[in-house]
Amino acid sequence: MKQFKNYVDGRWVGSDRRFADVNPVDGERIGDVHEADRATVDEAVRAARRALAGAWGRTSPTDRSALLYRIADEIDRRSEDFLEAEMQDTGKPLSMVRSIDVPRGAANFRAFADLLKTAPLESHMLHLPGGARALNYAVRKPLGVIGVISPWNLPLLLLTWKVAPALACGNAVVAKPSEETPGTATLLAEVMDAVGLPPGVFNLVHGFGAGSAGELITHHPDIDAITFTGESATGSAIMRAAADGVKPVSFELGGKNAAIVFADCDFEKMLDGMMRAVFLNSGQICLCSERVYVERPLYEKFCGALASRVRRLKLGRPRDADTDMGPLISAEHRDKVLGYFRLAREEGARVVVGGGAPAFHDDRDGGFWVEPTVLTGLAESARCVREEIFGPVCHVAPFDR
Ligand code: NAD
């Protein structure tokens, strides 16, 4: 069994309070996650503050840029470990983890390392009437200790997308990954350790949101800013918590994207794009399309063609070469998505394809799978058309020009 510990002030810190990390493919326990308590979060914040007051606070952009490249190189060097951890935590196909999650994890550090080298320093001389001159210049300063809270759907990609810019700008970080996906975040802490990031600059705490490490971060008086990706409702709660200390927040929240299909499109190309837009990562991406509007002359043909493509999708294990789609992240999330399928029927939807949970008659029946699903016939006011489902599902409706 793996042990996912907290990384605080350059040391691994365990906890008596532990919860299970589970593989969504079959529901098997991968390991134990050590939940950070208040004392551990406090120590992480103090360590971050000490790092800022020490040598880290005096690093030059050139030094930080070099360090970010080293972090990216180390992620690349350990890419097989990252691939395995991401697949175990999420059940995503290897093809996706290999082409998107892990390379983007490294690229995020390179992108901000590049930016650091070219960030302009604004300064200009003003010539005032009478021959006087005034020098105007901008000073770029770190915000301080940044609380980073990230979701489970693209665990490494979205965590590094926040950590890399924070470090690039000279901040120190207390990061909390989703309770569902502690694996690659813990590896990232190992990477920080291996490249010699000074203790306290990057701290990792594990736990849940409300009543746990997430809330301890957002309410912490000595954290200077919060950056968060996740559900809109969680964003509201965090904004309320941040209001107390008037902390700046940076959010990327939920979505309910619409796709529009015009009758004169290149049909096969459009269909390829639509399959990706709706079903990539089992629909668990904020920019997946859950509402599809098709110009009326193409509507029947589109519904038939989409349904036949969906029937051919192969639900499989991450390393199977023919896998198109993996499971959902957790039992709780599967039940939520299945609840929306039930609600869609109550709201009067026609289920064109899917609409339930598959049966594999093997160990995957212990996992968290739902069928890729296409719905039609709902009114614009239906909850299934208005609320983010975050699963492999879309509702298709016709429109006229
Ligand atoms: P979530 O909001 O449930 O959790 C995200 C993180 O916030 C987790 O680490 C969680 O532990 C923490 N958290 C939860 N409640 C908290 C609280 N009260 N205080 C502090 N922290 C708290 O989101 P999720 O289910 O992990 O991710 C899916 C959601 O994320 C979807 O809504 C999706 O659209 C959104 N998302 C948005 C983007 C984007 O770029 N806009 C990208 C990915 C995901």
**Band (384; pLDDT cuts 50, 70, 90):** very high
Write the pLDDT tens digit of every residue in 327-358.
999 999 999 999 999 999 999 999 999 999 99
- Beta strands 249-252 and 225-229, pairing class: parallel
Phi, psi at residue 34, to the nearest 5°? -90, 110
- Compute, in angstroms, the gap from residue 176 CA to the centroid of ligand 1: 11
Which pairing describes strands 6-8 and 11-13: parallel, antiparallel, or unpaired?
antiparallel
CB < 8 Å & 24+ apart, contacts of 335-338: 336/389, 336/390, 337/370, 337/389, 337/390, 337/391, 337/393, 338/370
pLDDT band at 2 (very low <50, low <70, confident <90, very high): very high
Nearest residue (by CA) to ligand 1, atom 39, is: 252
Neighbour count for residue 343 (Cβ, 10 Å): 15
- With 90 as the cut, is the pLDDT of residue 120 above it? no
With tokens 């306290």, the residue in question is: 200
CA-nearest residue for atom 20, ligand 1, is 214
What secondary structure letter does DSSP report for 287? Answer: T
Is 252 an active-site residue?
Answer: yes
Question: For residue 146, what are its two tokens?
Answer: 């940044």
The residue count for the chain = 401
Beta bridge partners of 289: 257
Q: Check pLDDT > 80 for residue 16.
A: yes
- Rounded CA-CA distance 177/149 in Å is 6
Residue 123's pLDDT is 82
Q: How confident is the model at residue 138, as a pLDDT?
A: 84
Instruction: Give the Å distance between the CA of 281 and the centre of ligand 1.
Output: 16
Residue holding tokens 């499109």? 265
Q: Which of 206, 234, 284, 393 to mutate to test the pocket of ligand 1 (most atoms within 8 A of CB)?
A: 234
Residue 230 scores a pLDDT above 90: yes
Q: Using the structure block, give the residue that is written with the tokens 């016939």.
A: 377
> For 228, which DSSP code?
E
In DSSP terms, 166 is beta-bridged to none
Residue among 100, 233, 105, 207 nearest 149 (CA): 207
- Between 234 and 138, where is the model more confident? 234
Best CA proximity match to 386, nearest among 256, 258, 271, 292: 256
3-state secondary structure of 178: coil
User: Which atom of ligand 1 is the closest one to the Cα of 207?
Assistant: 11
Residue 40: the pLDDT is 98
**Whole-number Å distance between alpha carbons of 298 and 260:** 12
Give one word for 251, left, alpha or beta, with left for phi > 0 and alpha for psi -120 to 50: beta
Pocket (CB within 6 angstroms of ligand 1): 149-153, 158, 176, 178-179, 208-210, 214-215, 218, 229-231, 234, 237-238, 252-255, 286, 388, 390
Instruction: Yes or no: say if 355 and 361 are a contact pair by the CB < 8 Å rule.
Output: no
Strand order in the sheet with 2-4: 2-4, 29-34, 18-22
Q: What's residue 181's pLDDT?
A: 98
Q: Which of 41, 15, 58, 35 is nearest to 223 (CA)?
A: 41
Residue nearest to ligand 1 atom 12, measured at CA: 209
Q: For residue 260, how many C-alpha atoms fall within 13 Å in the half-sphere facing its CB?
A: 4
| Token code pair at residue 71 | 């972090």
> Other C-beta atoms within 10 Å of 124: how many?
9
Ligand 1: atom nearest CA of 237 is 18
pTM assigned to the model? 0.95
On average, the pLDDT of the chain sits at: 97
Residue 73: the pLDDT is 98
For residue 124, pLDDT over 90 is answered with no
The reported pLDDT for the residue numbered 139 is 83
CA–CA dist 177, 154 (Å, integer) = 11
**Which whole number is the average pLDDT over 173-188?**
98
3-state DSSP call for residue 130? helix
Known catalytic residue at 384 = no
CA 210 to centroid of ligand 1, rounded, Å = 12
